[in-house]
């Protein structure tokens, strides 16, 4: 009987995989570690043992009469067992709920942008079957709600919330990543070398803005 140590292990795992926790690792660190079936199983087992101990103690001390309460001497022990059970339950529920929240955030809402496209395939392998089912149901629920709430004019909330809306027909942009001479969708061509600024149609550069390769200027910079 472990008095909640396994629960503590689960919480430590969550804490270590928190976004921003690992300063030295790269930005695409995985915030959804692999589902720790082993420790979860241990924690549940621990909880059952405590439950059993609690029940045994109560039965042992109230053996004499059906409605007598346990004597005052065993109450601290009962409280201890109950506290261990509650602690295990709290840790287990926290672990699952936090994982669900991170799954919703990383694997649904951030999918439109390139922020976590790299992680999607690896983290998908980290989910347990129940979590995969939950993610699928969640995606369906949000899509259904969006379509109903906007009378069909918006199909996917993610496409409108990931980036600010188009400011005007054409935008002044500065290139952050060297892309060399390029022909754009509308037929215009430009030499997109790093640091150069251009005044281009928004529709041409929208993808590049989304990916961060090109930065939108608002005309008030010093240079």
Partner 1 sequence: MADLHHLLDEVLEPQQQDEQPDEQAEDWNEEDREQLTLPAALVEAERRKLNDTPDATDEERLDLGDVTGFTDLKGDTIYSKLQSLWTQELCSPEILPFDNDTVQALLEALETQEERMEELQTQGSSENVHLDALMTRILKIDAERAKFLLSGLLKQRLGKLEEYPLHMREHLDRLSDLEKAYLKEYGTMLERHLRKTVLDHFPQEVFKQLDEPEMIDEPDLETYIFVRCKEDVLVDNATDNTPPDWHVKGTVLIVRYSRIRDLYLENKVELLM
Where along the sequence are the contacts to partner 1 (CB under 8 A)?
40, 44, 47-48, 51-52, 55, 85, 89, 92-93, 96-97, 100-101, 104, 128, 130-131, 133-134, 137-138, 141-142, 145-146, 148-151, 153-154, 157, 160-161, 164-166, 168-169
Give least dist CB 145 to partner 1, A: 5
Give least dist CB 156 to partner 1, A: 9
Give least dist CB 32 to partner 1, A: 15
Give least dist CB 14 to partner 1, A: 15
Task: Tell me phi and psi for residue 66, to 5 degrees.
Answer: -70, -35
Question: Is the Cβ of residue 14 or residue 85 nearer to partner 1 in the bound state?
Answer: 85
Question: Is the Cβ of residue 139 or residue 176 nearer to partner 1 in the bound state?
Answer: 139
- Region at 4 (left for phi over 0; alpha for psi -120 to 50; beta for the rest): left
Question: Is the Cβ of residue 176 or residue 206 nearer to partner 1 in the bound state?
Answer: 206
Question: Is the Cβ of residue 137 or residue 191 nearer to partner 1 in the bound state?
Answer: 137
Crossing angle of the two packed helices 5-16 and 37-61, in degrees rounded to 10? 150
Give least dist CB 200 to partner 1, A: 14
Question: Is the Cβ of residue 154 or residue 177 nearer to partner 1 in the bound state?
Answer: 154
Q: How far apart are the first and last CA of the chain?
A: 67
SS3 203: helix
Do 99 and 126 contact (CB within 8 A), yes or no?
Answer: no
Crossing angle of the two packed helices 75-104 and 37-61, in degrees rounded to 10? 160
C-alpha of 196 from chain center: 37
From 161, 157, 182, 171, select the one nearest 209 (Cα to Cα): 171
């Amino acid at each position: 009987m472990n008095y909640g140590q396994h629960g503590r292990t689960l919480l430590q795992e969550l804490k270590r995989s928190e976004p921003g926790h690992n300063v030295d690792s790269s930005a695409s660190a995985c915030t959804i570690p692999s589902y720790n079936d082993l420790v979860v199983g241990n924690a549940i087992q621990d909880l059952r043992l405590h439950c059993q101990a609690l029940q045994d103690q109560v039965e042992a001390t109230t053996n004499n009469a059906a409605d007598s309460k346990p004597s005052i001497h065993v109450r601290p022990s009962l409280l201890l067992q109950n506290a261990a059970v509650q602690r295990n339950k709290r840790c287990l529920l926290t672990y699952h709920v936090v994982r669900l929240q991170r799954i919703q955030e990383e694997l649904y809402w951030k999918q439109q942008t390139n922020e976590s496209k790299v992680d999607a395939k690896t983290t998908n392998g980290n989910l347990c079957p129940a979590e995969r089912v939950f993610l699928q149901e969640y995606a369906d629920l949000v899509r259904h709600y969006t379509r109903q709430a906007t009378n069909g004019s918006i199909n996917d909330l993610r496409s409108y919330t990931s980036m600010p809306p188009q400011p005007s027909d054409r935008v002044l942009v500065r290139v952050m990543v060297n892309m060399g001479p390029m022909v754009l969708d509308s037929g215009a061509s430009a030499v997109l070398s790093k640091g150069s600024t251009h005044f281009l149609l928004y529709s041409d550069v929208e993808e590049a803005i989304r990916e961060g390769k090109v930065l939108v200027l608002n005309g008030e910079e010093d240079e």
